Amino acid sequence: MIGAAYLRCLGGVVRREALRFVHQRGRFLSALVRPLVWLAIFAAGFRFVLGVSISPPYETYVLYETYIAPGLAAMILLFQGMQSSLSMVYDREVGSMRVLLTSPLPRWWLLLCKLLAGVLVGVLQCYVFLVVARFWEVEPPLLGYLAALPALVLAGMMLGALGLLLSSWIKQLENFAGVMNFVIFPMFFASSALYPLWRVREASLPLYWACLANPFTHAVELVRFALYLRFDPVSFAVVLLALLAFGALAVLGYDPQRGMLARRTAAA
C-alpha cells in the first residue's frame, strides 16, 4: 500500500513534467537550437583536428566538433536542471508543488520525483541533439549512445540537484532567473566542454584548477568518455559525490523545520 503511494507520486510528477514539456514546444526548440548553434559556429570557426585523451594515456585525434558535442549535450542537462528548478520556485509558491509538499510522503521522495522527471526530459533532449549532430560529422559508435545513457542520467541528476538546492534558497522567481545566469555561464566556460584541460593548463594554471574543481567538468568528461565506450572513474566519483552533497543540502533546504523554508517562515 505504501509502495503504491510512492509509485503513484512518481508517476504523477513525471507525467506532469512530460505534459508540460510536450505543450511547451518552444522550450524544446530552444533547448535543441542552442547547442546546435554553438556546434555550427564553433565547427565553422575552429574546425581542426584536436588531440585528446579519450583513452588515457593514448592520444586520439578527433575533429573539434566531435570533441565539443558531448560538452554541449551536458550543457542541455545544465540548462534543463536550472529551468526545472525555475518552475519549482513558481510551483512551490502557487502551483501544484505547494500542495504536493504538504503530502504525508517524505520530502526527499517528492524532490527525487521532481528530479527524475526533469532528468527524463533532459536526456531525451540530449539524444535528439546527438542524432542531429551527426550532420556535423559527430559520429560516435552506435553502442556509445547506449553506453552514454547512465552517464547522462547521473550527470543530469547532479545538475538537477544543484538546481533544487538553489531553488530552496530563492524566494522570488525574478531572483532565480538572475542566479541561473550567474551559475550556468561560469560553470560552462570554466570546464572542459569547449577545450581540453591540457590546453586550459597551458593558457592559465588558476583557470585549470578552477576547471578541475568544477563538477560540471567531470559531468562533461563522464558523458564524453561513455559516448566513446570508455569509463572515467574519477569523473564518476566526483559526479556521484556532488549529487549526494547537492541532494542532501536540497532536502535540508526544503525541510520546513530546519531548512531555508523554515527561516523564511520565521522571518515572515
The pLDDT of residue 56:
45
Give percent of the chain with pLDDT exceeding 90.
29
> Which letter does DSSP use for residue 190 in this model?
S
Q: Which cell numbers hold the place of 214? A: 568544477
Half-sphere exposure of residue 143: CA atoms within 13 angstroms, side-chain side: 3
Q: Greater confidence, 43 or 119?
A: 119
CA angle 211, 182, 100 (to 5 degrees): 110
Flag whether pLDDT at 14 surpasses 80.
Answer: no
Per-residue model confidence as pLDDT tens digits over 69-109: 899 999 999 988 887 777 776 666 666 666 666 667 777 77
Q: Greater confidence, 68 or 219?
A: 219
Nearest of 227, 198, 206 to residue 72 by alpha carbon: 227
The confidence band for 27, taking pLDDT boundaries of 50, 70 and 90, is low
- Residue spans of the domains in the chain: they are 2-267
Q: Which cell numbers hold the place of 240? A: 556521484
The pLDDT of residue 222:
95
The confidence band for 117, taking pLDDT boundaries of 50, 70 and 90, is confident
Residue with cell 509538499: 101
Q: What is the mean pLDDT of residues 156-179?
A: 79
Q: Identity (one letter) of the amino acid at 226?
A: A
Most confident of 7-16, 20-29, 191-200: 191-200
Q: Cβ(78)–Cβ(184) under 8 Å?
A: yes
The pLDDT of residue 25:
64
Could you tell me how many residues make up the chain? 268
Tell me how far apart the alpha carbons of residues 70 and 129 are, in angstroms, rounded to a whole number.
10
The confidence band for 220, taking pLDDT boundaries of 50, 70 and 90, is very high
Tell me how far apart the alpha carbons of residues 188 and 211 are, in angstroms, rounded to a whole number.
9
Q: Which cell numbers hold the place of 175? A: 531572483
Lowest mean pLDDT among 79-93, 157-171, 205-219, 254-268: 254-268
Tell me how far apart the alpha carbons of residues 77 and 265 are, in angstroms, rounded to a whole number.
32
Flag whether pLDDT at 1 surpasses 80.
Answer: no
Nearest of 160, 148, 159 to residue 114 by alpha carbon: 160
